[in-house]
Amino acid sequence: MRHKSKPSWRFIGLFIILLAIIYGIGAYHFDSNNRFLPNTKIAGVNVGNKTAHQASTLINKQLANRKFSITQNGKILTSFNTNQTGFTFHSSSLKSALNNQTSWSWPLHLVSSVEASKTTKFSSTTVNSSQFNKLVATETAKLNQNRTASTPASLKVSNGKVTTTDAKQGNQVDVTKLATSLKKALTNGATALKLDSSVYKTAQANSSAKTATDAKLVKEIVNEKAVINVGGHKVTIPTSDLAKWITYNNNQISLNQRLVKAYVTKIDNKYKTYGKTKTFKSTLRGTVKVSGGFYGWSIKIADETTALTQEILKGKSFEREPVIQGTGYNTKKQIIGNTYVEVDKKNQKMFIYVDGKLKLKTNVVTGLPPKQTTTTGVWSVWAKKRNTTLRGNELDGTAYASKVSYWMPIDDTGIGIHDASWQPTFGGTWYKTHGSNGCVNTPPSVMPKVYKLVALGTPVIVF
């Protein structure tokens, strides 16, 4: 009976040695010659057994003629040649891929391909950023021509009533997201990019929350109790006006400044005292009406419009005093008050009242009529000086210089109250022929008391 022969252990050993030699020669070949392992792919191009320089030339040649498409749902939306992308694979960049490959694994590459870019990041110098970004911008514009933009949540206000619209996701492509996806696809050697919602522009994430917050604030503004305390008069702004004033533009709540200004102006016209004829209860002539003079106050329209707007936009009830300009403002509904100087030109008398009590009464000499008569109006003492010289011109043009011990100017033309030692008499009809240049001439013996009683800002009624 015959037995099957078995390979000798010697033959097996020789075969193993032969394989080891072939394996070592292969590893040495790829390592010492700086060549890519078999079936190595970079950007989709097989560069097996190529040097870095050879691979660079081969890749760029193939990329120059390769068509790249952007698709969606199986339909090509746009396409371009890869040489338009600004991608260039330099041999210096490819050397890093060579250095990272394991030459001892060359047998595995004989049966399967390996994409080098999966393990190797090429430097940014391989991409012309300007050219790439220009291409992405162009393609994004093409893709978005017939697409719907994402819309943030919105709010509309009309007469204080709020209408809101929820945010909506569109399908327009985001240029930055497309650039990221496209760069990844090109680096991996892909020839197409499937478009999906991951590259869409997203609706503003916080728009709904802001819209809700703004809607709440609008309702709070409409329901405010907004009170302006002007000169002691409390004026409540109607909620219907507040509702009309509210505007909403560019996601910002504001007030129609034209309407707010008109309202402030209306209040000012009603309550201001500046420029208005003032009714005054005189000492000797009963109730008189006095026009003129700069004594009085008014609302500073522009400043108050801004301040009132800021207060209203807080959405909380408030009471405020307006921004005031002028003199004599108070919250007691008083126009002149009970401390003042009264100059009665007809009776040539001056009276000084402090806190409603008559403190001083004296004869005076007012301006020579008709050209130098003391100007009628409600004025105020805006300065006090001792021992000064008053200078001016007589009617004939002659200059004068009068020394006085006490001087209190009341208007802006040089008229005031002062002692007049040159006047031999005061009161009566003396002023008709020997009147002053416009000032209120006061007896020197009385003027020290006047100076002491009258404080800065005291109103002076001349009538």
Residues labelled catalytic: 418, 439
- Paired sense of beta strands 440-442 and 416-419, if any: parallel
Residue 126 contacts residue 187 (beta carbons within 8 Å):
no
Distance CA 142, CA 195 (A): 13
Q: Classify burial at 243, counting beta carbons within 10 Å of its beta carbon; exposed 0-12, middle 13-18, buried 19 or more.
A: middle
Which pair of structure tokens corresponds to residue 39? 């079936």
Which residue reads 């619209």 in tokens?
Answer: 165
Q: Which of 272, 317, 267, 274 is nearest to 293 (CA)?
A: 274
**CA torsion, ordered 431, 433, 436, 442, to nearest 10 deg:** -40
Distance CA 418, CA 410 (A): 11
Residues 6+ apart with CB under 8 A from 455: 339, 381
Residue 153 contacts residue 165 (beta carbons within 8 Å):
yes
Mapped onto helix, strand or coil, the DSSP state of residue 265 is helix
Which pair of structure tokens corresponds to residue 406? 């006490």
DSSP state of 74: T
Residues 6+ apart with CB under 8 A from 149: 170, 172, 201
Q: Within 13 Å, how many C-alpha atoms sit on residue 151's CB side?
A: 9
Specify the DSSP element, H or E, that contains 194: strand 192-194
Q: Which amino acid is at 349?
A: K
- How distant, in Å, are the alpha carbons of 237, 254, 298, 300 from that of 306? 16, 11, 16, 10
